[in-house]
Structure 1
Amino acid sequence: MAISANLKRALRLLADGGFHSGTELAESLGVSRSAICKQLHGLSELGIELSAVSGKGYKLQHPMALLSLRQIEQYLSPQADLLLNGVEIHDLIASTNSYLLEKAQQSGANGIACFAEFQSAGKGRRGRQWLSPFGSNIYLSVLWRYQSSPAMIAGLSLAVGVAVVRALNELGIVDVGLKWPNDIYWRQRKLAGILIEVSGESGGPCNAVIGLGLNCYLPPQQAQAIEQAWVDLDSIVGRHSHGLRNKLAAVLLNHIMPVVADFDDKGLSHYLAEWRDYDCMQGRAVDIYMGQQCYQGKVEGIDDQGMLMIRDQDLKLTRFASGEVSFSNS
């Protein structure tokens, strides 16, 4: 899927966040002013906030940096570049994860990274939708083929979480923590989420699609639908996170690709100590939901298999391999 070439050119002109008249846009694109109005009318459907002021023209509510393969490649490390068999950027897509799962089944591809400007059906955990306004955030999926069984790559999401924190730290974004099993937090607010989907034979080999959604800028209207504490890079580094977007995309790949490629050999044990350093749940009271059941207790970290350890009010220690965890208000 793709947006029209003219609309993309218009967005590049508007990306600086300044006012541009209809006449200026029309002349730059070689179309009529009425055609420009028609093109820009559909931007709200993509989650793009556009202002139109008489006598001034059109203006994006927030500056935008569209993804550029050339700029991303400029920041790629030699190691990541060697591990990657392709980097794709899609303007519009249903889901980067779904796209790569299908690609794996059809072609046996490996080492593919897929970015999107907009997802119409972005995936969160447990069937939730991941909000994906156009040109605002990082929507990334990586496809990797493992010779081992799906059971042998359990804990991969924890290792990828470590890679994401490393990438953010490299860019000077500190106070980042990890919330079991697959969320990246900044000062107790969710900044990013990881979703890994695995397909293949129970005895191996298997394909893993590692999905990452990271908030660079969430438009206020879109953010109203989020039911948990959240944060975006715009709030952390100031109103210029768009300038980081292509470099961030590359730095994430620089850290994620080696972790994904080496996980078969290194396993979770290689990343446990670092994950525990970043643990933002240690000692906190939480509720953990397993289906309709809710367990309450205090977090005592993760064990060597990556299971969450919860001690209840009777001092009983229980380990959880999965579950929906929220910080307790009690």
Structure 2
Amino acid sequence: MKLIKLDAIDSTNEFLKGISSKEALENFTVVTAENQTKGKGQMGAVWNSEVGKNLIMSVLVKDFLLEITQVFNLNIAVSLAVITALKKNNIPDLSIKWPNDILSANKKIGGILIENSIKSDGTILSIVGLGLNVNQTNFEGLPKASSLAVVTGKEFDKEKLLLEIIAHLEMNVAASKLNPASLRQQFVDLLYKKGVPMPFANSKDEKFMGMIQGISPVGRLQVLLEDDSVAEFDIKEIQMLY
């Protein structure tokens, strides 16, 4: 694993995309930054982080996805790698808020953003961005955010966490090639509020009640509705109200 450490950058994802387009990087090359000025989340959201407090990283994954319909398999591998590493560090009440937020109890402690590009030869190259709130303790104005330090009362070694996450990611990528169904079930079992009646809103801001059942083969969220039908939603089509 090659590790590139930066003091400050606009986006670790953009930096890694840039250098990967110019040179052949080894698989699981990682870029980290102490400060990220234009961190990105899902659907254009901004990821804000205190300088030096949190784990801001991007990792290159190649030779894994064979076709674009498999992209959610990488989401599963990454999410489970983070969860496994955090469990080993005794972080309590861990879950995954679909599709890729990492929660402790009902507070967000991490987020994942995966950007895929298809090369001219048909191969898929993925840049996995991870923001993990580690030692930051001030979340004023962010009532749904927390960190490892807040939930445990102690500080953590960010680089040790990074190495643990990458080690588990490499194992999950290998395991997914052999038995993707097993990892998929682990992901489903960790879904936040799975099997619990919850209020949702659709893309038209219409409110409805539903119960998360699982995910489709391409990663769409499966929700049991009040008429006993099961509907599937993409990330832009549904919002959990909690």
- Shared fold per TM-score greater than 0.5: yes
CA contact (8 A) 2:188 2:215 kept: no
Deviation sequence 1:110-130 (CA, Å, 0-9, x none): 321111111010111111110
Q: 2:89 & 2:137 partners in 1: Cα distance?
A: 23
Higher share of residues assigned strand: 2
Change (3 A) 1:284 1:99: farther
Q: Percent identity?
A: 26
- The aligned runs of 1:186-265 (5 Å cut-off) are 186-201=104-119, 204-218=122-136, 220=138, 223-226=139-142, 229-238=144-153, 240-241=154-155, 243-260=156-173, 263=176, 265=177
TM-score normalized by structure 1? 0.66
C-alpha RMSD of matched pairs (Å): 2.3
Q: Does 1:178 align with 2:96?
A: yes
Higher share of residues assigned helix: 1
Moved more, 155-164 or 294-303: 294-303
Alignment-mate amino acid for residue 185 of structure 2: A
- The aligned runs of 1:1-330 (5 Å cut-off) are 84=1, 86-111=2-27, 112-146=29-63, 148-201=66-119, 204-218=122-136, 220=138, 223-226=139-142, 229-238=144-153, 240-241=154-155, 243-260=156-173, 263=176, 265-266=177-178, 268-282=180-194, 283-290=196-203, 292-294=204-206, 296-305=208-217, 306-323=219-236, 325-328=238-241
CA contact (8 A) 1:113 1:143 kept: yes
Q: Secondary structure at the match of 2:122?
A: coil
Change (3 A) 1:116 1:211: same
CA contact (8 A) 2:81 2:166 kept: no
Change (3 A) 1:324 1:130: farther
Alignment-mate amino acid for residue 206 of structure 1: I
Q: CA deviation at 1:267?
A: 6.5
Number of aligned residue pairs: give it.
Answer: 238
Gapped regions of structure 2 (runs ≥ 5): none
